[in-house]
């Protein structure tokens, strides 16, 4: 089954275009734009583990030769990305296409039920 690696999901984003929207940043972008605002989404994590030394909260550890991310420990300081020799994001989460679509549908139903978007 095909998996996609998601760098970050913003359930509410007013920055990435007019109005409110959900923004999903995938890991492994192959455009390599000179003006990229999210260059940490270009390369995949190589599981080198170099970033683990900079994570004071132990949100990122290397276990069985794989870098693992524990979001509950993360303070979003960015030290892992800033110190990555591959300049990638070790905090990605993998989804199947169906799982990602279900996530989007769940949030869409929530948005429709709330008064947040109604005028």
Each residue of 10-55: pLDDT tens digit?
A: 888 878 677 778 889 999 988 878 888 899 999 999 999 999 999 9
Say what the pLDDT of residue 86 is. Answer: 93
Contact 75, 30 (CB under 8 A): no
The count of other CB atoms within 10 Å of the CB of residue 57 is 12
Question: Residue 88 pLDDT more than 70?
Answer: yes
Cα–Cα distance for residue pair 108/88, rounded to 1 Å: 29
Contact 45, 28 (CB under 8 A): no
């Amino acid at each position: 089954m095909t998996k996609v690696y998601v760098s970050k999901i913003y359930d509410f984003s007013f920055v990435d275009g007019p109005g409110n929207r959900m923004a999903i940043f995938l890991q492994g972008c192959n455009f390599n734009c000179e003006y990229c605002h999210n260059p940490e989404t270009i390369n995949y994590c190589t599981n080198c583990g170099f970033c683990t030394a900079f994570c004071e909260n132990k949100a990122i550890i290397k276990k069985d030769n794989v870098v693992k991310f524990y979001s509950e420990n993360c303070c979003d300081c960015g030290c892992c990305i800033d110190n990555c020799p591959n300049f990638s994001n070790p905090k990605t989460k993998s989804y199947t296409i169906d799982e990602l679509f279900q996530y989007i549908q769940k949030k869409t139903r929530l948005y429709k039920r709330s008064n947040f978007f109604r005028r």
